[in-house]
Amino acid sequence: MQIIAVKPTLRPNRVNLVFDNQKYLPFFIDDFVSLGLKKNKPLSAEKLAEICRQSVLFLAKDYCFRQISISPKVEKTLTPKLKVYLQKIKQKYYYPVDIDQNEIIGFCLSYLNSQNLLDETKFVNYYLKRYPRKSQNELLFRLRQLGVSVSAVNDQGEPNSDRQKIIKILQKKKITTEIMRNYQEKNRLYSSLYRKGFSLSQVKSVIDEYLISG
């Protein structure tokens, strides 16, 4: 097998390597030079495997950059997305040799961490804004599952305290003393707040304060 053409693409620094079977692979143009590749030169099995690995790695890193530009990521949120993407490119492009998916993912995560692109603080800030009504307990539980340290959550300060969140929910629902006298409405509100992770004692305390001040 050999490369018969190197075609430019609309994307910067990306070319398509066209093989003599008319199949092609996306490739980083600098890698074409660094690997000493040439057109119309037979490729050994080792060189072909290296080309395939570098192609997958190039696409995987580019995908990671695009995902992080959409929203902050940590390893446990990026990894499943990257696994799905790797399966897609395996089906879309021509890879005559097997590529170690775990090696590619590990390399990408290591590189991103070395560049401080998987920033826990930025991710926590994004996560808190995305779920403003979740209780602190539920947020801590979910973030721990994603491998985020508690200190990164605590660094965000008091603006997202449970008390303020409950008050905002009460204001939005326009809760009044009359509504709370209705047994079904009262239970519905308590259940709703409890499902969001707020403790019942805290819910009762904040509602009592809210009704008195209102």
Q: What confidence tens digit (pLDDT) does each residue in 34-52 have?
A: 999 999 999 999 999 999 9
pLDDT above 70 (res 154): no
pLDDT at 16: 94
Q: Are residues 10 and 70 in the same domain?
A: yes
Long-range contacts of 164-171 (CB under 8 A, 24+ apart): 165/132, 165/133, 165/134, 165/135, 165/198, 166/193, 166/198, 166/202, 166/203, 166/206, 166/207, 166/210, 167/206, 167/210, 168/132, 168/133, 169/133, 169/193, 169/196, 170/206, 170/207, 170/210
Q: What is the DSSP letter of 174?
A: T
pLDDT band at 64 (very low <50, low <70, confident <90, very high): very high
Q: Are residues 127 and 84 in the same domain?
A: no
pLDDT digits (tens, 9 = 90+) for 193-213: 877 778 777 788 888 877 877
39 forms beta bridges with none
pLDDT at 76: 93
pLDDT digits (tens, 9 = 90+) for 71-92: 999 999 999 999 999 999 998 9
Domain interval for residue 27: 3-114
Gap between the Cα atoms of 45 and 51, Å rounded: 10
Q: Are residues 76 and 139 in the same domain?
A: no
pLDDT band at 159 (very low <50, low <70, confident <90, very high): very low
17 forms beta bridges with 6, 25
Strand 14-19 and strand 24-28: pairing? antiparallel
Q: Are residues 166 and 186 in the same domain?
A: yes
- pTM score, whole prediction: 0.72
Q: Are residues 22 and 107 in the same domain?
A: yes
Q: Are residues 154 and 104 in the same domain?
A: no
Nearest to 135 by CA among 201, 214, 185: 201
Domain count, the chain: 2
Q: Are residues 41 and 60 in the same domain?
A: yes
Tokens of 81: 């997305």
Contacts of 81 (CB under 8 A, 6+ apart): 67
Contacts of 159 (CB under 8 A, 6+ apart): none
User: Mean pLDDT across the chain, nearest whole number?
Assistant: 87
Last residue of a domain, one of 114, 138, 168: 114
Q: Are residues 138 and 103 in the same domain?
A: no
Long-range contacts of 44-53 (CB under 8 A, 24+ apart): 45/97, 48/1, 48/96, 48/97, 49/97, 51/17, 51/25, 51/27, 52/25, 52/95, 52/96, 52/97, 52/99, 53/99, 53/104
